[in-house]
Structure 1
Amino acid sequence: MANVVITGSTKGIGRGLAAEFAKQGHKVMISGRKQNDIDSTIAELGFESGQVVGLACDTTDKAQVQALWDEAKSTFSTVDIWVNNAGLARTVWSILDTPDSEISTMVNTNLLGNINCCKVVANGMKQQGGGKIFNMLGGGSDGEYFKGMGVYGTTKRGLDYFTNALSKELKDDNIIVGKIRPGMIITEGVIREAKEDLDNFQKRRKFANALCDTVETVAPFLVENILKFNKTGKKIAWLNTTKITLRMLATFISKPKDKFEDFGL
């Protein structure tokens, strides 16, 4: 059984991964910025005592990241898998209209936060003899442009480069570095963004229904592939070209189920 740490795991895909790892018998340390949210998540997940534990951590503060690593090491003895999931997406504005405060938060969280985590964790894994580090990518990480994602996509494109560089630098240290592309998942953040820009969402609702999935659908696939992942620098991708093509073709045959009605949209 593996010992797993997941940042940004009190909601969304991070929470889904934590639940799936724990369901399979692995031990998990969850994290988020507020200890109250962590405590509530642990209680709601309902696993036996010690299966899922947690500690508050703002990944933009390296000292807090170090404290999270130290707590995980103290609790589990070793950290086998660390998933950098903490991130922020604000995709309702053009680049020029994006508030400066939102730009700073996205850049700091999606880039600085991940760099902090990778430095702390890689050093720790060197000392313990190895492990796996995963960075969560997203829209724009492959260079493709999407409306409203100019700043967010830039951070994820930069994270992709950083992950490639890290995998090369750690290739002789028994540390496997991987990338996760979870696809288009319906999370609290996605629903928030859709409600803030409802007109634009309605225009792409059919497309979203064809390609979006729930956390419960995607999490088991990601956990399975994280556990068996053994090629540093590679990626785990839920949506591939074939799957996207087949789903889009299916929309011409029948109307896809509306996946957003249950979320008040």
Structure 2
Amino acid sequence: MTVVVVTGGTRGIGQGLVRSFARLGADVAYCGRHVTEAPDGILAVTADVTVREDVRKLWDATVDRFGRVDIWVNNAGLSTSRRPLWELPPAEIDAVVGVNLGGTLQASAVVLEAMLAQGHGALWNMEGLGSTGQIVAGLTPYGATKRGLTYATLAMAKELKGTPVKACLLSPGMVVTDLLTRDYEPAELENAKKIFTILADRVETVTPWLAERVLKGTRNGGRVAWLTNRKAAYRFATAAFHNRDPFS
């Protein structure tokens, strides 16, 4: 069996990935800052991805349970309130940058060293708004971290060239979670939903597809993306003929 670790697996996309990998027959471990008892056969570990010792604890617990780690998905992430940068408290900015970018870098450093030592592995980093240049007012810190994460992953891939370890990008697109709808006023949310109903998808729609593609693998530095430009263009062109409601 393939052994998969998902960080931030307690809710949202991370939780969906954990369940999807398990349904596809993988041995799965996940972490969160606050975890409850995991389903049968799944390993849950309390860990903070910004702390290298916690990441090593998660790696070691997975190896102790399943013998190795084949795939690691850095999914853990936060978003600030949807407000202009100058209105955000310093602690909120620090938390988002610390987890989304700092945590991914710290975890990746631990994981890549361990994968190189064991002689194989694939590290996947989760993209998001900003990764491919999208700019949205009110989400400056979040978008900046995701933009930086894409660069970091491609740089890791370059550093891994010629080794049996890969660094790859996973792009879920627009998914209906609390991060998507956070801090909208009711009228603003109704306007935003005009786009969401065209482009957004439910966790249970996206994560099985992502999990299957991750298990199949891709080249070092490759990207697996659910919402491609072509798919988005098709949805806009045919929106009048479809009654999509990802919120139902």
Superposed pair shares fold, TM > 0.5:
yes
Identity of aligned residues (%): 37
Aligned to 2:172, which of 162, 173, 182? 182
Aligned to 2:187, which of 155, 179, 199? 199
Greater shift, 160-169 or 143-152, is seen at 143-152
Checking the alignment, whether the CA contact within 8 Å between 1:140 and 1:149 is kept in structure 2 is no
Aligned to 1:225, which of 213, 217, 221? 213
How far apart are residue 35 of structure 1 and its match? 3.1
- Are 1:257 and 2:244 an aligned pair? yes
Write the distance in 2 (CA, Å) between the matches of 1:155 and 1:197.
25
SS in 2 for 1:204: helix
What amino acid is the match of 2:25? G
**What corresponds to 1:25 in structure 2?**
25
How far apart are residue 251 of structure 1 and its match? 2.2
How far apart are residue 91 of structure 1 and its match? 4.9
Q: TM-score, normalised by structure 1?
A: 0.89
1:139-171 deviations in Å (ceiling 9; x for gaps) = 001122112221110000111111011011012
**What corresponds to 1:59 in structure 2?**
49
**What corresponds to 1:166 in structure 2?**
156
Matches for 1:64-213 after TM superposition, within 5 Å: 64-191=54-181, 193=182, 196-213=184-201
Gaps of at least 5 residues in structure 1 are 44-48
Checking the alignment, whether the CA contact within 8 Å between 1:11 and 1:188 is kept in structure 2 is no
Checking the alignment, whether the CA contact within 8 Å between 1:7 and 1:83 is kept in structure 2 is yes
**What corresponds to 1:243 in structure 2?**
231
Q: Aligned-residue CA RMSD in angstroms? A: 1.4
| Cα gap change, 1:149 to 1:78, in 2 (>3 Å) | same
**What corresponds to 2:5 in structure 1?**
5
What amino acid is the match of 1:259? P
Write the distance in 2 (CA, Å) between the matches of 1:124 and 1:21.
22
Write the distance in 1 (CA, Å) between the matches of 2:237 and 2:79.
29
Write the distance in 2 (CA, Å) between the matches of 1:97 and 1:250.
39
Write the distance in 2 (CA, Å) between the matches of 1:259 and 1:219.
14
SS in 2 for 1:29: strand
| Cα gap change, 1:71 to 1:20, in 2 (>3 Å) | same
Runs of 4+ in 1 over 6 A off after TM superposition: none
SS in 2 for 1:179: strand
SS in 2 for 1:185: coil
How far apart are residue 253 of structure 1 and its match? 3.7
**What corresponds to 1:214 in structure 2?**
202
